Structure 1
Amino acid sequence: MRRRTAPEAFDTAAVTPWNADVPGLGYGGDYNPEQWPLDVQLEDVELMQAAGVNLVSVAIFSWATIEPREGELDWAWLDATLDRLHAAGVRVALATATASPPPWLTRAHPEILPRLADGTVLHQGGRQAYSVHHPLFRDYALTMTERVAERYGTHPAVALWHVDNEIGCHVPRDYSDAAATAFRDWLAERYGTVDALNEAWGTAFWSQRYGSFDDVLPPLVAPTYANPTQQLDFDRFSSAALLDHYRDQRDVLRRTAPTVPTTTNLMLSSGTKGMDYFAWADDLDVIANDHYTRADDPQRHVELAFSADLTRGVAGGAPWILMEHSTSAVNWQPRNHTKSPQEALRNSLAHVARGADSVMFFQWRQSRAGAEKFHSAMVPHAGTDSDVWRTTLALGDALQRLGEVRGSRVRARTALLFDYEAWWASELDSHPTQAFRYPDQVLALYRAFWERGVTLDVVHPGHDLGGYQAVVVPSLYLVTDEHAAAVSDVARRGGHVLVTFFSGIVDENDHVRLGGYPGAFRDLLGVRTEEFHTLQEGETVHATGRGPLAGATLTADLWTEKTHLAGAEAVATYDDGALAGLPAVTRRRTAAGGSAWYLATRPDPAGTLAVVDAFLADAGLVGEAGAGAHPGLEVVRRHADDGTSWLFAINHADTDATLDATGTELLTGTELLTGTELVRGGELAADTELVAGDAVGNLVVPAGAVRVVREA
């Protein structure tokens, strides 16, 4: 059996860019021809050409079609599909077909099935019914990967390898016997000795001390709280094992087809917790993301922007692929949301605005049968006489018009720190409140910056922070000394830092930093918290601002702290509750002219916005023109190395918005989606017209619409 022992070394310089033969921006989706008869497959290619599709993912869930019985292989349909797509000029992200093992495999080898913490076995009948820890499954998966690579590694249609699919989506944590064995091996490699593990896990508590690694289990269902560091390490181990599953297949592909790039579709959003995607980034030749908006979120476009910024952060600022999103409703939310054609266009182009060089969907043609038959697609059940198909055509036209932005990048002067290990650790049990949710705190701050049109890079705490004027640190409960020092250095050199409650509390082993909260950030912030005062459901407190927050009133819930000043000034104090008169928001100035702000509570949106406004004023930062003046208007820029820039203005509101091109914000150039020229002072080139008759370069963005200006 083939099990991973160490990463293989490859010459990555030999890898061809995924879009080398894809003109402009990529456009397409998951294509599943095995679900359809030949006449539909032939129609598919004609419709793809009509829509401008140039990239599709193929064979993602095709293992049972390729190998209906063990050792019996049927390649004819896939051969014909790739030949047909190549002839039509459509490039292929070819999957390894390993995302769902065929029923014959799980029937013959039920030991490869994953388990929940309570011992429940997850059986075949859905998808991803496998344990990445079981060597037998890994061997079967690598055999299939090798077969695909050997057959299609030189096929001219193949632009990209698509490894597995949404790895860890349904089984981010497996508690099978195979997982237990692998976990013990991982712990032995991490700690070296069982004494070192005992120290890291604090096993002197509750008589948990281990005498051997053989005694260790995954954090199974127990009579009461499991050891928190054991839980945290199991999260780390599980993410690393899922990454190794990707690496194993990637290595097989590279040995066989070394010039074809590899990726897998990540799930970068505020809702996917299981994988530390920052640790995955270096192993993907291009970052690819799947994103779906939440029907129950009236500001779902803000979470979309966060996800796109996070994807760009994982990509190190490089352009990336939107591998999946939806043309309209999905099938898996409690109450699914049907998108208007305008919302569908806004969703797609918002990803492009924030760094995507390809827009793809699940899926090309809406299925007739199966669990996702009511998930929307580019070709819906209603066929081509439908708003969804007309939107497919309109988006294809828009992406062709925007092809020139390919390869450009988003630039930000402010970073927001986001860390999966802090997320895992902060939401463990037996904490001050079980109502705390890490993504809620991140998004609350992100939304305020979004509303002010301030572009954020969402990055790992280990990212180089030297180029940022401001750094935002929401609830970074777990942080290493090294990363905390890097945040402090931002303020020491004259930058500006905003830290929120429940930050800096523990080290990488989930051990509390003694001497008072917020632990690692105490000296930076000039405060000392002696005790948390969490609030009950429905309980609120109020705070009044002073100084830079003068005139602001904050209404807060969930969290307060008994905080004392130790070099900082109070810029808001509690008016009521157990902590009346104590600081709710503080600021400490640094000798270099920087500042370190501490938000020790959770304000409502208006209060959060007031704090962010004061922080931005302190940092001397302003948003993109027009964003703050028009609620719902999203403004962001992409920049090319040659100095060209493109302004994306996305109006999520139901009223028109205007980017006021006055003073130093004169907006001139070409609006790419309409071909309209914007000029200064009404000097109009021949055969052009002014937007909305304006003679000074103002840009009107109609309600629900998108405008993209190549700036002159």
Structure 2
Amino acid sequence: MSTERHLRLPGIAYGGDYNPEQWPEEVWAEDMRLMREAGVNMVSVGIFSWALLEPAEGEYDFSRMDRILDLLHENGIAADVATPTAAPPAWFFKTHPEALPVDRDGRTLSYGSRQTFCPSSPAYRTAALRISTAVAERYADHPAVAMWHIHNEYGCHNPECYCDTSAASFRKWLRAKYGDDLDALNHAWGTTFWSQWYYSWDEILPPRATAAPPNPTHQLDWRRFCSDELLSLCTAEREVLRQAAPHLPATTNFMVLRTFDSLDYWRWAPELDILSNDHYLMSDDPEAEIDIALNGDLMRSLAGAPWLLMEHSTGAVNWQPVNRAKNPGEMRRNALAHVAHGADGVLFFQWRAAKAGAEQWHSAMLPHAGTDSQIWQDVVRLGADLRALGEVRGSTHAARVAIVWDWDARWALELPSQPSGELRFQDLVRDWYTPLWRAGVAVDFVRPDAPDLDSYRLVLAPSLYLVDDTGANRLAAYVERGGTLAVGFHSGAVDENCHVRLGGYPGAFREILGVRGDEPFPLLPHQSVGLTGRVPQGATADLWTERLRLTGAEAVATYADGPLAGVPAITRHAYGSGTAWYVATHPDPATLSAVLEHLRREADVRPEHEAPAGIEVVRRRGAKADYLFLIDHAGQGAEIPAEGVELLTGKPVVGTVTVPEGGVAVVREPRSTSSGE
């Protein structure tokens, strides 16, 4: 990310998507008054305004946007100005019907919504860059503009298009990747299987619907291509913006969510000046606060710095089967948890709840009920909280534990025809993350090929089914130099081409783990086995087992029953100057927590701060002080040892700080009294 282009905004950014074009102009003055009352200091504008800004090809009407930006500037509110390319207007598709996306089954999708375009369409690219150029040139020097917002949620609804134009672009991408060597592609894809050998590049198609399971490497390369194709659109718009306004930072809102896996954000992150994320709770998640923390830590790791929460919700969303409203205090806890995990901005979708359109039942900062509502009271209170936390902006985190995260591994694990179709990458990672979160242990996320792992005392790879030689070698070297590594089951099984690593499991990690498996034994749904050894009494495991023998490691736990009774299930191996553990099954939560606690103690990793169960503890580190966030998710309240100043109330803290029931405390601790790593 750029160090020259940054958001020049004092304090923590607060606001949301502002869509005044959906309302009569006489409402705008009220918007300004209420934004000031709430403490809003930045809004995103123009995200879905293409049809209004360019009513016909090459004809522009900026009069409305001019008035909006002038009004924001007059009221001291910064603008995050969008290129409106996520929603091409109807006239574009009437002229260019070939730009409509085609799904895997060959159906052409219609316009009438958002993001219904083919990412490979030359006509779309030309039109998108034209409107982006017009917006950039008009507003590059407008005093309200603080940042550019490229597109919106790339790939949210059109991560893949299977049309002939996309097929041609896919082939071009493949020729670049394989050095125009068709034999190299055939080898990488293993096309001798099922007579899939290609004799001409023109024979290669996207992985469209087929009668039987498609080639896994074909599918994996397709996922990589689709991510890169959308990234090429993003960087093309970014260049237009930089040419017009080299001083302004640009972002696009990621979707680091449990439900979205279409883009490789490790590849996207270096291309943007500021990283931002949209995060929404899943109504069926009983511990959504863990998801907030995990995704916040992943965003912070992608950014290598603080980031912006570009969208979340004050209450219910509109796109889940049942859209749960938030409980009292939950919105505030959510927002401040994002700040705790590195967000230097808290924005919502959207400012004023829509009365028409597909998102009319999505909550907003100003709800349908207006200011006589609990949501509005909470919004105003949150604005005051964020003003009180202004000094936290720019502070960082220091973690001694890293979790390996890789989109290639995620995509490959969830392809069809696995030994078990029950494996979900993000669920497996969250299983390992959760005990660390409960213990108040700071966590970074890293790529498997990260070159600087030595700063971590403990590295965890819960799910690394696919790993290339570089990643495997760097993890091995980390252990050899004295690090502690724990690897989850079914890891190291295939290389970057999805080819099985022969010679036994866990493939790339056999040597450092000191084990060899010869057959996976996945368990059926609702089936479990017992574990015995250095694990809690009554320990069980489900989802996965494998026949394993020791080749240097020691057994920490074995299967107590089932077809693999007596076989090692959890192992420990001294390798070089370090230690490598293998968790060859899916232990129950209490057992996995006990294993990870043992690993932490062995690696001398301590919690950020002692606190009772139900209190989330996170520390951000500033230049002269630490900021200790204490968030009560259990609703019990607590007295926590601390010294300093509680920023939300401004009161000095001597000995202990009170965390209100269901509330939050943020203590500025002088660096000399900080207790963590």
Q: Give the TM-score normalised by structure 2.
A: 0.97
Map of 1:83 onto structure 2: 70
Please report how far the alpha carbon of residue 269 of structure 1 lies from its aligned counterpart in structure 2 after TM superposition.
2.1
Are residue 205 (structure 1) and residue 193 (structure 2) matched?
yes
Map of 2:660 onto structure 1: 702
Map of 2:673 onto structure 1: none
SS of structure 1 residue aligned to 2:14: strand
Aligned residue runs from structure 1 range 529-544, under 5 A: 529-544=517-532
| Structure 2 Cα separation of the partners of residues 12 and 521 of structure 1 | 36
Map of 2:467 onto structure 1: 479
Map of 1:631 onto structure 2: 613
Contact 2:2-2:272 at 8 Å conserved across structures: no
Are residue 488 (structure 1) and residue 476 (structure 2) matched?
yes
Provide the aligned C-alpha RMSD in A: 1.2
Could you list the structure 1 runs, at least 4 aligned residues long, displaced by more than 6 angstroms after superposition: none
Map of 1:7 onto structure 2: none
Contact 1:308-1:355 at 8 Å conserved across structures: yes
| Structure 2 Cα separation of the partners of residues 700 and 481 of structure 1 | 50
The percent identity for this pair of structures is: 52
Please report how far the alpha carbon of residue 621 of structure 1 lies from its aligned counterpart in structure 2 after TM superposition.
1.6
Equivalent in 417, 434, 438 of residue 451 of structure 1: 438
Deviation track 1:471-526 (CA, whole Å, cap 9, x = no partner) reads 01011000111111111222222221111101111110111111111111111111
Which amino acid letter does the alignment assign opposite residue 108 of structure 2?
V
Are residue 274 (structure 1) and residue 255 (structure 2) matched?
no
SS of structure 2 residue aligned to 1:534: coil
Please report how far the alpha carbon of residue 656 of structure 1 lies from its aligned counterpart in structure 2 after TM superposition.
1.7
Deviation track 1:183-215 (CA, whole Å, cap 9, x = no partner) reads 000001111210010000000111111001111
Which amino acid letter does the alignment assign opposite residue 303 of structure 2?
A
SS of structure 2 residue aligned to 1:385: coil
Contact 1:552-1:610 at 8 Å conserved across structures: no
| Structure 2 Cα separation of the partners of residues 526 and 625 of structure 1 | 35
Map of 1:618 onto structure 2: 602
| Structure 2 Cα separation of the partners of residues 575 and 493 of structure 1 | 35
Q: 290-299 or 606-615: which moved more?
A: 606-615
| Structure 2 Cα separation of the partners of residues 134 and 591 of structure 1 | 53
Deviation track 1:361-415 (CA, whole Å, cap 9, x = no partner) reads 0000000100101100000000001110011100000000000011100110000
Aligned residue runs from structure 1 range 243-254, under 5 A: 243-254=231-242
Are residue 596 (structure 1) and residue 583 (structure 2) matched?
no
SS of structure 2 residue aligned to 1:589: strand
Please report how far the alpha carbon of residue 71 of structure 1 lies from its aligned counterpart in structure 2 after TM superposition.
3.3
Map of 2:649 onto structure 1: 674
Please report how far the alpha carbon of residue 264 of structure 1 lies from its aligned counterpart in structure 2 after TM superposition.
0.4
Please report how far the alpha carbon of residue 436 of structure 1 lies from its aligned counterpart in structure 2 after TM superposition.
1.0
Please report how far the alpha carbon of residue 256 of structure 1 lies from its aligned counterpart in structure 2 after TM superposition.
1.4
| Structure 2 Cα separation of the partners of residues 700 and 516 of structure 1 | 55
Which amino acid letter does the alignment assign opposite residue 346 of structure 1?
R
Map of 1:586 onto structure 2: 571
Please report how far the alpha carbon of residue 465 of structure 1 lies from its aligned counterpart in structure 2 after TM superposition.
1.0
| Structure 2 Cα separation of the partners of residues 254 and 57 of structure 1 | 18
Which amino acid letter does the alignment assign opposite residue 342 of structure 1?
G
SS of structure 2 residue aligned to 1:84: helix
Map of 1:43 onto structure 2: 30
Contact 2:449-2:472 at 8 Å conserved across structures: no
Please report how far the alpha carbon of residue 531 of structure 1 lies from its aligned counterpart in structure 2 after TM superposition.
0.6
| Structure 2 Cα separation of the partners of residues 128 and 194 of structure 1 | 33
Are residue 259 (structure 1) and residue 247 (structure 2) matched?
yes
Equivalent in 134, 143, 147 of residue 130 of structure 2: 143
Equivalent in 300, 307, 313 of residue 301 of structure 2: 313
Please report how far the alpha carbon of residue 12 of structure 1 lies from its aligned counterpart in structure 2 after TM superposition.
5.3
| Structure 2 Cα separation of the partners of residues 25 and 430 of structure 1 | 47
| Structure 1 Cα separation of the partners of residues 10 and 40 of structure 2 | 10
| Structure 2 Cα separation of the partners of residues 106 and 474 of structure 1 | 45
Q: Give the TM-score normalised by structure 1.
A: 0.92
Equivalent in 545, 560, 563 of residue 560 of structure 1: 545
Please report how far the alpha carbon of residue 658 of structure 1 lies from its aligned counterpart in structure 2 after TM superposition.
3.0
Contact 1:571-1:586 at 8 Å conserved across structures: yes
| Structure 1 Cα separation of the partners of residues 126 and 16 of structure 2 | 29
Deviation track 1:686-706 (CA, whole Å, cap 9, x = no partner) reads xxxxxxxxxxx1223122111
| Structure 1 Cα separation of the partners of residues 661 and 108 of structure 2 | 50
Which amino acid letter does the alignment assign opposite residue 704 of structure 1?
G
| Structure 1 Cα separation of the partners of residues 486 and 309 of structure 2 | 31
Contact 1:545-1:553 at 8 Å conserved across structures: no
| Structure 2 Cα separation of the partners of residues 126 and 151 of structure 1 | 27
Structure 2: tracts of 5 or more residues without a match: 671-677
| Structure 1 Cα separation of the partners of residues 581 and 328 of structure 2 | 42
Please report how far the alpha carbon of residue 239 of structure 1 lies from its aligned counterpart in structure 2 after TM superposition.
0.2
Contact 1:470-1:490 at 8 Å conserved across structures: no
Please report how far the alpha carbon of residue 466 of structure 1 lies from its aligned counterpart in structure 2 after TM superposition.
1.9
| Structure 2 Cα separation of the partners of residues 632 and 544 of structure 1 | 29
Please report how far the alpha carbon of residue 337 of structure 1 lies from its aligned counterpart in structure 2 after TM superposition.
1.3
Which amino acid letter does the alignment assign opposite residue 658 of structure 1?
E
Contact 1:626-1:633 at 8 Å conserved across structures: no
Map of 1:6 onto structure 2: none
Map of 2:332 onto structure 1: 345
| Structure 1 Cα separation of the partners of residues 93 and 401 of structure 2 | 49
Are residue 649 (structure 1) and residue 637 (structure 2) matched?
no
Contact 1:633-1:653 at 8 Å conserved across structures: yes
Please report how far the alpha carbon of residue 449 of structure 1 lies from its aligned counterpart in structure 2 after TM superposition.
1.0
| Structure 2 Cα separation of the partners of residues 552 and 319 of structure 1 | 42
Contact 1:269-1:310 at 8 Å conserved across structures: no
SS of structure 1 residue aligned to 2:146: strand
| Distance verdict in 2 for CA 1:486–1:552, change over 3 Å | farther
SS of structure 1 residue aligned to 2:592: helix
| Structure 2 Cα separation of the partners of residues 220 and 454 of structure 1 | 44
| Distance verdict in 2 for CA 1:68–1:341, change over 3 Å | farther
| Structure 2 Cα separation of the partners of residues 47 and 143 of structure 1 | 35
Map of 2:6 onto structure 1: 17
SS of structure 2 residue aligned to 1:559: coil
Equivalent in 65, 71, 84 of residue 52 of structure 2: 65
Please report how far the alpha carbon of residue 86 of structure 1 lies from its aligned counterpart in structure 2 after TM superposition.
0.6
SS of structure 1 residue aligned to 2:453: coil
SS of structure 1 residue aligned to 2:396: coil
SS of structure 2 residue aligned to 1:698: strand
Q: 452-461 or 307-316: which moved more?
A: 452-461
Please report how far the alpha carbon of residue 143 of structure 1 lies from its aligned counterpart in structure 2 after TM superposition.
0.4
Please report how far the alpha carbon of residue 591 of structure 1 lies from its aligned counterpart in structure 2 after TM superposition.
4.6
| Structure 2 Cα separation of the partners of residues 358 and 285 of structure 1 | 15
| Distance verdict in 2 for CA 1:286–1:552, change over 3 Å | farther
| Structure 1 Cα separation of the partners of residues 576 and 66 of structure 2 | 67
Which amino acid letter does the alignment assign opposite residue 83 of structure 1?
D
| Structure 1 Cα separation of the partners of residues 610 and 2 of structure 2 | 43
SS of structure 1 residue aligned to 2:88: coil
Contact 1:574-1:580 at 8 Å conserved across structures: yes
Please report how far the alpha carbon of residue 544 of structure 1 lies from its aligned counterpart in structure 2 after TM superposition.
1.2
Please report how far the alpha carbon of residue 109 of structure 1 lies from its aligned counterpart in structure 2 after TM superposition.
1.3
Equivalent in 172, 189, 201 of residue 185 of structure 1: 172
Contact 2:5-2:273 at 8 Å conserved across structures: no
| Structure 2 Cα separation of the partners of residues 538 and 406 of structure 1 | 46
Map of 2:40 onto structure 1: 53
Contact 1:92-1:157 at 8 Å conserved across structures: yes
Which amino acid letter does the alignment assign opposite residue 277 of structure 1?
Y
Map of 2:322 onto structure 1: 335
Contact 2:454-2:483 at 8 Å conserved across structures: no
Map of 1:569 onto structure 2: 554
Aligned residue runs from structure 1 range 98-177, under 5 A: 98-177=85-164
Contact 1:626-1:658 at 8 Å conserved across structures: no
Q: 583-592 or 387-396: which moved more?
A: 583-592
Contact 1:323-1:359 at 8 Å conserved across structures: yes
Which amino acid letter does the alignment assign opposite residue 307 of structure 1?
N
| Structure 1 Cα separation of the partners of residues 537 and 391 of structure 2 | 44
